[in-house]
Structure 1
Amino acid sequence: MKRNFKVWAALAITATTLATTGCDKFLDVNENPNNPLTATPQAVLAQALNATATNFASQYNNYGNWVAAYWGKSGTVNGYNEERTYNYSSLYNQGLWNNTYDNLYDYQLIEQLSNEQGRPNLAAVAKIMKVYNFQLLVDQYGDIPYSQALNGLQNVLPKYDKAEDIYKDFVVKLTEATTTLATLPTDTRVLANEDIVFGGGAAAHTSWQRFANTLRLRILLRMSNVQSLQAYVTTEMTRLASAPGGFLTTDAQVQPGFIQSEGQQSPFYNRYGVVSSGLASATERNYVQPTQYIIDQYQNNGPDPRLTRLYTPATVAPYANVYRGVVLGESNIPALGNYARLRLGGGLLKAFDQPVPLILLAESKFLQAEAKLKGFLPGGDAAAKTDYQDGIRASFVYFYAPAPSQRSTTADQSANAVPNYDLYLTRNAANPLVNWDVPGTGANAVSKEQKIYYQKYLAFNTVESIEAWSEYRRTGYPRIPASIESSSTRPDKLPVRLLYPQTEIATNLNNIPTGINQFTSKIFWDVVD
């Protein structure tokens, strides 16, 4: 991890640009960094949340889109060798590690300043977001620096903690945060425009409790297949069932006020949509295309109305007007027009000001469905079915919703979300992948758990793809295809993790776990195969 004064300099810049301005002002990259003001936790929070969104949308999900088989490369670009072969090096995606730890220092400072300045609500939000970011790291790397990781110059060579121990501490930290938010003194200042996820105001404390509880549910379910943790998970689920606030009832999204200007567009759209001038596609838009596997999941089930919301068909004969995907790992690929593409103004590339989802409402519902189905939360099969269907419905609502700038335009398809969800259920009344009450037979048999995992995979497409990848490793379902160029010796031909980055090898080598291999060194919760 990087251990220098870069973070502290960045925080000084943050204070300069935010201390006296609105939330969207921090996107201005032309502010003078040489005149820092005294940092306040609320000034740092918006920048930190935006940094999390950028890391998640344009780095974690970029990686997840390849390993979860949502994307393959187009014929307009060479390279993508690691994505095609899984032959990772310590340089591959090391930005995930470095940028996440930089971001974690932001939240560490927010928590420290908040405690010093009597802002327990901001400290609780920072604690929640530290867990969110640390979990991303654990899920890709396993053991990581944790207990000694954010001590700055006091410890530049932090030890590595066991991933399982870190996960258990996540539960402790999230419980502390929700308790704090539920028992705030009456004179505590409410969150204001520094809260670029829930918008601040009187209801924000409850929203952050729900975010923390949903994250806690994800964490506990991810541990639930580990035999030695069964009793622990059951006990903690019982506590979670009575936690204040409940679970997310809306998508948790970062929206600082993205604008159509250089460096200030929504990060995923900026990378894969249209350049800030609005006159040309972003370069990388031409590099990636949907796989045939993900196209099939929409086309072969109904078809699923989301297909036309997410993609445009091929334009070149003999495939014109056909939704055709690339084969993951294929190297000799015809021109762009032979394949489907991510739709501009659709459900994935909405517009320059599209918010960045951190946790979708669909995920919240699918997590609750699984927990109730397994008896971890009360409600049983009937409640699980309701949550399952609500999860599918929430996915339709998300993909059909426009970005703010597209409301009341032809791109605003929000009114069609629920009717198309209803159509999807009708078209798939006999389909065991969709209908909760249809088990299927023989090779087509699908358990209720598998239905949840399958529909979650569809809901996560491109927007929470790193979670789709973690869920595949946890559950083994759906059986996503590997790259045809895979160098893996595993039965599924997929990797199981990333390698520790070169930046860490160069600075903290003696503490790094040895013998790590991307095909054999599983994360502790990966026990299904």
Structure 2
Amino acid sequence: MKNIAKLFVAAALLSLATGCESFYDINDNPNSVTPDKVVPSAILAQALKVTGDTYGLTLNGYGSWTVGYWGKTGTVNGYNEERTYTYGATYYQGFWGNTYDNLKDYDGIEKSASAQGQLYHAAIAKIMKAFNYQLLVDQYGDIPYTQSLQADAATPIIAPQYDKAEDIYKDLILRLDEAVAAIKTAPSTTQAVSGEDIVFTGNMTNWVKFANTLKLRILLRQSFVPSLDSYIRTEMAKLQTTATDGFVTTDVQVQPGYIQSTGKQNPFWNSYRANPAGSRIAQSNYQNGTQYIIDQYDKNNDPRVSQLYVKATAGAFNGTYKGVVLGDPNPLPGSTQISRWKDYGGILKGFDAPVPLLLAAESYFLQAEAKSRGYLTGGDAGAKADYNNGIRTSFVYFYTPAPSQSGSTNNVSANAMSDYTKYLDANSSNGLVSWDAATTRLDVPTGSNPRAVTKLEKIIYQKYLAMNTVTSIEAWNEYRRTAYPKFPPSLQSVSPRADKLPLRLLYPQTEVSTNSANIPADINQFTSKIFWDVLD
């Protein structure tokens, strides 16, 4: 641990820097000193940036493999876990440790800000704690919660007990309510949040909308659990009444001021496209879009396909959109013979692109589902409007360039609305696209009658398309919750389940080694469901 002088230096740098770059070097533990001495603004940017890294890179990668967005190309060996779903205790274990470290930062910010009367900073930290704890619950189920983050407390707890996932979910709702109330009732003299907020730049109304949307996500995530129906309806009624500021209408993104420099590029671009010198890295050819996800755009006359992928330029599939198949023992190489992600397109936007934490499209689709199921008022008309807005904002996101590309030929943002309209017009009778159409022929054998499509299926299907390789972990969560869409599993799956997919991550080896007495017993990635996973 470094001394607190570093924190004050960092605070000064944050207030002076125009590019929001100095936070990259902040790695102090805010809890190593007393709360009244810590400067919350010196830590917040770094904490938000770490959340972006974990969500936009680690969880986005894991979700992309499990939910059918990615497959291995023939350019590389390995990826055994991704091809077979034979997870071990070290598979993605960094997610656990990094997230709890991140939570410790937010906990320190909350305590320090509260002690110093900085109510806005404390509320932001509380919201981000809820965000991160839900990420952990959704992949592991029961986790340390009430006794977590206390390893350096006056009475240290180094082997915390595990709380029930359902109980944690209920408490997250309370914490979000507290954060919203604190923001809304804060005195006018409360210290403002400014450049250290690399998500909303101090706009507290947007933080309220984000909290409302997270609450809606948490409630819908568990809404198919029969025993929770009364609770869900009660909380939804409260949300209807208290969410006067509404829900997120623009993408919630982390933007610390990414630049083309070592350690300061957009993390996804840095890992899957180019090094700081601008040269393509080898890993850019190791994985690619599956044939399934590409077909969902191509066969539906969806213009987004050309913004996400390029056509193969060589081989038997030259001039076509050609994906890979997860688990294919002889996949095509990941260069010219398949459809790679488009450079400076909707997925690989650029070195300075912000990292999404929650898409506006997801917010609208959550509202559409809540209204279509009667949880929120608005009825079918309101659900339809939200559903179409979800599709529209997906086009806007995928067509919006990185800041450095705004003046280049890669800026196709002007085409977003016209292509969105073309998409709806071309699919007026396709129930996977049109809200009013009841059937689809997309996945129906030739000569067979079209199959029926429910409102829930079309919502989740469009959400699936919107989250492709952007917020993939939410698509994976939504598949486990709803069993939509019916994407194909890996050809080499060892899962005994009917859908041949896994259900969860295993508790990490770090916990097995240090807290084994408290870890729930007999956890299996194919049989141990998260509590909200009740549909197959």
On whether the aligned pair clears a TM of 0.5, the verdict is yes
CA 443–522 in structure 1, closer or farther in 2 if over 3 Å, else same: farther
* CA deviation after TM superposition for structure 1 residue 26, in Å: 2.7
Structure 2 match to 1:463: 470
Spell out, residue by residue over 1:296-341, the C-alpha distance to the aligned partner (whole angstroms, 9 max, x if none).
100111x100000000111113211110111111132232222110
Whether the aligned pair in 2 keeps the contact of 1:372 and 1:383 (CA below 8 Å) is yes
The correspondence for 1:181, drawn from 158, 180, 183, is: 183
Once the two structures are overlaid, the 10-residue window that deviates more, 138-147 or 188-197, is: 188-197
Residue identity opposite 2:13 in structure 1: T
**Equivalent pairs, count:** 515
Check if 1:304 corresponds to 2:302: yes
Structure-to-structure mapping, 1:149-160, within 5 angstroms = 149-153=148-152, 154-160=156-162
Question: 1:527/1:10 Cα in 2 relative to 1: closer, same or farther (>3 Å)?
Answer: farther
Aligned-residue offset at 1:382: 0.2
Counterparts of 1:367-516 in structure 2 under 5 Å?
A: 367-440=366-439, 444-516=451-523
**Whole-Å Cα distance in 1 between the matches of residues 465 and 492 of structure 2?**
24
TM-superposed CA distance for 1:448, in Å, is 1.1
The answer to whether the 8 A contact 1:18-1:26 is kept is no
**Preserved contact between residue 474 and residue 526 of structure 1 (Cα < 8 Å):** yes
- Superposition deviation, residue 408 in structure 1: 1.9
Q: Tell me by how many angstroms 1:230 deviates.
A: 0.1
Corresponding residue of 2:199: 197
- Is the 8 Å Cα contact of residues 197 and 252 (structure 1) preserved in structure 2? yes
Q: Return the match for 1:328 from 326, 329, 332.
A: 326
Residue by residue, what CA displacement relative to the aligned partner does 1:266-290 show, whole Å, maximum 9, x if unpaired? 1111111211111x11232111111
Match of 1:17 in 2: 10
| 1:257 equivalent in alignment to 2:253 | no
Say whether the 8 Å CA contact 2:325–2:331 is kept in structure 1: no
Q: CA deviation at 1:449?
A: 1.2
CA distance in 1, matches of 2:522, 2:27: 46
Q: Deviations over 1:170-198 (max 9, x none)?
A: 10000111111111101112210011001
In the other structure, the counterpart of 1:57 is 56
AA partner of residue 476 (structure 1): A
Match of 2:443 in 1: none
Q: How does 1:139-158 map to 2 (within 5 A)?
A: 139-153=138-152, 154-158=156-160
Shift of 1:116: 1.1
Matched, 1:168 2:170: yes
Q: 1:329 is matched by which residue type in structure 2? A: G
* Percent of matched pairs sharing the same residue: 55
Q: Are 1:432 and 1:444, in contact at CA under 8 Å, matched by a contact in 2?
A: no
CA distance in 2, matches of 1:290, 1:263: 26
* TM-score, with length taken from structure 2: 0.93
Deviation sequence 1:5-54 (CA, Å, 0-9, x none): xxx5599866543443336223555x8989x9963101100000000000
- The superposition leaves residues 481-510 of structure 1 with CA deviations (integer Å, 9 ceiling, x where unpaired) of 110000000000000000000011111010
**Secondary structure of the corresponding residue to residue 321 of structure 2:** coil
Cα separation, 2, equivalents of 1:220 and 1:481: 28
SS at match of 1:253: strand
1:359 and 1:317 mapped to 2: Cα distance? 38
Q: Distance in 1 between matches of 2:428 and 2:383?
A: 18
Equivalent residues of 2:324, 2:332 under 8 A apart: no
Shift of 1:159: 0.3
Q: Match of 1:495, SS?
A: coil
Aligned amino acid, residue 293 of structure 1: Y
Q: CA deviation at 1:151?
A: 1.1
Matched, 1:225 2:224: yes
Map Cα deviations across residues 38-93 of structure 1 (whole Å, 9 max, x no partner). Answer: 63101100000000000111100000000010000111111000000000000100
Decide which moves more: 71-80 or 316-325: 316-325
Q: Specify the alignment match of 1:26 in structure 2.
A: 22
Worse-superposed segment, 407-416 or 388-397: 407-416
Counterpart amino acid of residue 310 in structure 1: L
Q: Cα gap change, 1:14/1:420 in structure 2, threshold over 3 Å: closer, same or farther?
A: farther
- How far did 1:446 drift? 0.4
Task: Give, in whole Å, the separation in 2 of the partners of 1:250 and 1:171.
Answer: 22
Change (3 A) 1:490 1:408: same
Q: RMSD across aligned C-alpha pairs, in angstroms?
A: 1.8
CA distance in 2, matches of 1:12, 1:226: 50
Aligned match of 1:3: none
Q: Tell me which amino acid in the other structure corresponds to 1:355.
A: P
Distance (Å, rounded) in 2 between the aligned partners of 1:213 and 1:330: 42
Q: Give me the whole-angstrom Cα distance separating, in 2, the residues matched to 1:11 and 1:258.
A: 26
Mapping of residues 81-120 of structure 1, within 5 Å: 81-120=80-119
- Residues 15 and 473 from structure 1, CA distance in 2 versus in 1: closer, same or farther, beyond 3 angstroms? farther
Deviation at 1:443, TM superposition (A): 5.0
Q: How many angstroms does 1:391 deviate by?
A: 0.3
Q: CA deviation at 1:208?
A: 0.2
Quickly say closer, same or farther: Cα 1:13–1:447, change in 2 above 3 A: farther
For 1:100 and 1:164, locate their aligned partners in 2 and report how far apart those are by CA, in whole Å. 19
**CA separation of 1:448 and 1:405: change in aligned 2, threshold 3 A:** same
Aligned partner of 2:313: which letter?
A: T
**Aligned AA for 2:21?**
K
Contact 1:27/1:263 (<8 A) preserved: no
